């Protein structure tokens, strides 16, 4: 099982937290700065913790240098990830 989620990242926040979801896009604020991959690492670490999967199961597969990224999560279904993150089903 592998799930993919589109994420809009805001780096440099006071703390890492979910910022809600809209239009099938999850908004996440991370405390790390957007330099040398720190924000991407913070994002994958944060999502792994929220979803209860190992850090190695969460990978940024598209948008490594952009604010909008596609993240792949191994070991969880699309429905399970959307339920845990509070993302409405697309088209619903």
Residue 92 banded pLDDT, cuts 50, 70, 90: very low
What does the pLDDT look like over 2-54, one tens digit per residue?
999 999 999 999 999 998 888 888 999 999 998 899 999 999 999 999 999 99
Q: Is the pTM of this model over 0.85?
A: yes
Query: Which candidate, 75, 66, 76, places its Cα nearest to that of 6?
Result: 66
Residue 34, CA distances (Å) to 4, 30, 52 in order? 22, 9, 25
d(CA 18, CA 88): 14
Q: Which domains are present in the chain?
A: 2-85 (3.30.1200.10)
CA nearest neighbour of 12 among 39, 41, 44, 37: 39
The model's confidence at residue 90, banded by pLDDT at 50, 70 and 90, is low
Residues 6+ away with beta carbon under 8 Å from 49: none
């Amino acid at each position: 099982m592998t799930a993919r989620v589109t994420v809009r990242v805001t780096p440099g926040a006071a703390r890492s937290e979910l910022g809600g979801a809209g239009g099938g896009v999850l908004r996440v604020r991370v405390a790390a700065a957007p330099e040398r991959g720190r924000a991407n690492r913070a994002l994958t670490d944060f999502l792994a913790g929220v979803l209860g999967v190992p850090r190695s199961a969460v990978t940024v597969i598209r948008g490594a240098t952009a604010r909008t990224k596609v993240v792949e999560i191994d070991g969880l279904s699309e429905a399970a990830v959307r339920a845990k993150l509070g993302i409405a089903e697309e088209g619903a």
